[in-house]
């Protein structure tokens, strides 16, 4: 297990080897001071990138055939290696992102927790989706062949680091963990905003590959010049799927590149969401001050740089809604800006705020205070109404950071119409009391078609990692609403089904062999057969309807 202090090299790690790039350099920047950080990172060109993808292709067969215990042990070793250098990771990530130590420690724990969760998934093996239909030679009018199905890894996956989560959605984060758990080698495109953090974590993964005796092409970490190397990675014929978290413009660009390949591949992109909150009449008969504080806390946490931040809230017109807006104004007055991830993100936030404030029918409700650094702008909340909201698409655009829009609605019908007019979202939140159940029951079917996760009487920030979580949603929240990027279901993005017909048992892969040597839960002749049950397949029958 890796325990030594990491000396940053400023180089890519391709199949276990340090590689100096030949396409320029980049540096991390401390957003609290705008100071450049050492070392500089050399950027690889397309020819060097091809070495990483070729190594991943070479590793795919052996890695995809690992037995569950070896495979799970590898994921656990990555977690152990990351924890061994945890203080270094947190210190460097803090310098590169401005995020506070408690937030980064929590994110570190989430990263290792995800890896260990997927190790449990690998050991249990349900993701392999084994289905068996034994031969029925006597079936009429035609015999049934012996059919066995399992899911296999797609092959090498390109993963792009997210700006706002330097750990949990980055080098060894959710997309990497789920792809590796599926048995897919990963070529990871480091985010240039936190290159040192990526290198420390990348070395922990690389060490685990070596320590577990795996093919070195299982993992590569590459630094490249922005969009050009990302496009080249997606277009590389060795890459079979893409995991991405970032802007809508960048995500749709990758989707277009993947679709234009001679052999198109899936892109699982999380992109844009304003995460609407619907405050119903009954909720305002309770503690309005607490409700307003909860909204402001959710909006301003991590400077609003969370993909589930509430960028939109619907509140009733009339006195009750006005009391809530006044409470929001008071709560926001106590909130100061926090340093944003990069000067560029802070600049984009400012542009978005100015564009929203310039729209007709949009007014400022309140602003917080400027934070301690140049890149810590004051959070802001705007106000408008449903007719204006529905008539102007600018009011639906995400502003990445602590800015939100309160939209006042006149009736339950107007609220439902507003919800129907919205784009796809990661989350939708309802604040309601028992008296609101009739309104909620009419709104819920609309929200099911608009969002991947629906909450009641809570706030969307904070995503639990487990079996039942969905972190996805209709476009543009994600590129594929059938999937999630958080939770154990994420592994299914990187698998595909294969059926084996009349293949001799000795030649079958272990998951579908009659003896079930990996002790997997399997569906045999339509019935679930648990791993701890005696291995038994139905005897051939003469006839079956």
- Which residues are designated catalytic? 270, 307
Q: How would you class 452 by CB atoms within 10 Å of its CB: exposed for 0-12, middle for 13-18, buried for 19 or more?
A: buried
φ, ψ of residue 406 to 5 degrees: the values are -95, 125
Q: Which of 241, 226, 240 is nearest to 175 (CA)?
A: 241
**Which are the contacts of 20, defined by CB distance < 8 A and separation ≥ 6?**
11, 12, 42
Residues 6+ apart with CB under 8 A from 459: 277, 294, 295, 297, 298, 310, 429
The 3-class SS string of 63-132 reads HHCCCHHHHHHHHHHHHHHHHHCHHHHHHHHHHHHCCCHHHHHHHHHHHHHHHHHHHHHHHHCHHHCCEE
Tokens of 333: 């007055």
Find how far residue 361's CA is from the centre of its chain.
35
- Nearest CA-CA partner of 41 in 55, 56, 22: 22
Beta bridge partners of 19: 12
Q: Between the CA atoms of 160, 166, 168 and 169, what dihedral angle is there, to the nearest 10 degrees?
A: -20
Query: Which uninterrupted H or E stretch holds 26?
Result: strand 25-26
Integer Cα distance of 141 and 104 in angstroms: 64
- CA dist 153 and 95 (Å) reads 37
Task: Convert 108-131 to b/e letters by CB count within 10 Å (16 or more is b).
Answer: bebbbebbbbbbebbebbebbbbb
CB 218 within 8 A of CB 63: yes
Any idea how long the chain is? 545
């Amino acid at each position: 297990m890796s325990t030594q202090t990491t000396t940053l090299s400023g180089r890519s790690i391709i199949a276990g080897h340090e590689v100096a790039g030949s396409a320029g350099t980049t540096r991390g920047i401390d957003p609290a001071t705008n100071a450049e950080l050492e070392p500089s990172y050399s950027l690889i060109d397309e020819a060097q990138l091809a070495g990483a993808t070729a190594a991943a292709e070479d590793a795919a067969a052996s890695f995809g055939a690992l037995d569950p215990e070896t495979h799970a042990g590898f994921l656990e070793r990555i977690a152990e290696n990351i924890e061994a250098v945890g203080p270094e990771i947190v210190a460097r990530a803090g310098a590169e992102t401005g995020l506070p130590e408690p937030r980064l420690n929590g994110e570190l724990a989430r990263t290792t927790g995800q890896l260990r969760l997927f190790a449990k998934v690998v050991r249990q093996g349900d993701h392999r989706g084994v289905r068996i239909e034994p031969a029925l030679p006597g079936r009429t009018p035609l015999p049934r062949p012996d059919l066995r199905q399992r899911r296999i890894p797609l092959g090498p996956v390109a993963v792009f680091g997210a700006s706002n989560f330097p750990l949990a959605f980055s080098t060894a984060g959710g997309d990497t963990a789920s792809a590796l758990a599926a048995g897919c080698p990963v070529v990871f495109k480091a985010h240039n905003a936190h290159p040192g953090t990526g290198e420390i974590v990348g070395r922990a993964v690389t060490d685990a590959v070596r320590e577990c005796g795996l093919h070195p092409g299982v993992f590569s970490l590459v630094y490249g010049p922005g969009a050009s190397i990302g496009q080249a990675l997606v277009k590389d014929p060795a890459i079979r799927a893409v995991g991405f978290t970032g802007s809508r413009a960048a995500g749709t660009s990758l989707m277009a590149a993947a679709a234009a390949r001679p052999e198109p591949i899936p892109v699982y992109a999380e992109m844009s969401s304003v995460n609407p909150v619907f405050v119903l009449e009954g909720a305002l008969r309770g503690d309005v001050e607490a409700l307003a504080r909860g909204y402001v806390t959710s909006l301003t946490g991590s400077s609003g740089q969370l993909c589930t931040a509430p960028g939109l809230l619907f509140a009733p017109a009339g006195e009750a809604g006005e009391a809530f807006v006044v409470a929001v104004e008071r709560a926001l007055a106590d909130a100061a800006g926090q340093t944003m991830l990069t000067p560029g993100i802070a600049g984009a936030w400012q542009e978005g705020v100015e564009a929203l404030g310039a729209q007709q029918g949009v007014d400022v409700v309140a602003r917080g205070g400027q934070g301690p650094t140049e890149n810590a702008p004051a959070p802001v909340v705007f106000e408008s109404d449903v007719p204006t909201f529905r008539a102007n698409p600018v009011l639906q655009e995400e502003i990445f950071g602590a800015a939100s829009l309160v939209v006042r609605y006149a009736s339950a019908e107007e609220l439902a119409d507003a919800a129907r007019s919205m784009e796809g979202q990661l989350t939708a939140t309802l604040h309601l009391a028992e008296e609101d159940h009739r309104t909620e029951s009419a709104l819920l079917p609309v929200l099911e078609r608009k969002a991947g996760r629906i909450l009641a009487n809570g706030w969307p920030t904070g995503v639990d990692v487990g079996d039942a979580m969905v972190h996805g949603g209709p476009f543009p929240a994600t590129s594929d609403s059938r999937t999630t990027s958080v939770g154990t279901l994420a592994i299914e993005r990187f698998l595909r089904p294969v059926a084996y017909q009349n293949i001799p048992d000795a030649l079958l892969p272990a998951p579908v062999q009659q003896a079930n040597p990996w002790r997997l839960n399997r569906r045999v002749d339509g019935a679930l057969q648990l791993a701890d049950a005696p291995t038994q397949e139905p005897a051939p029958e003469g006839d079956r309807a």
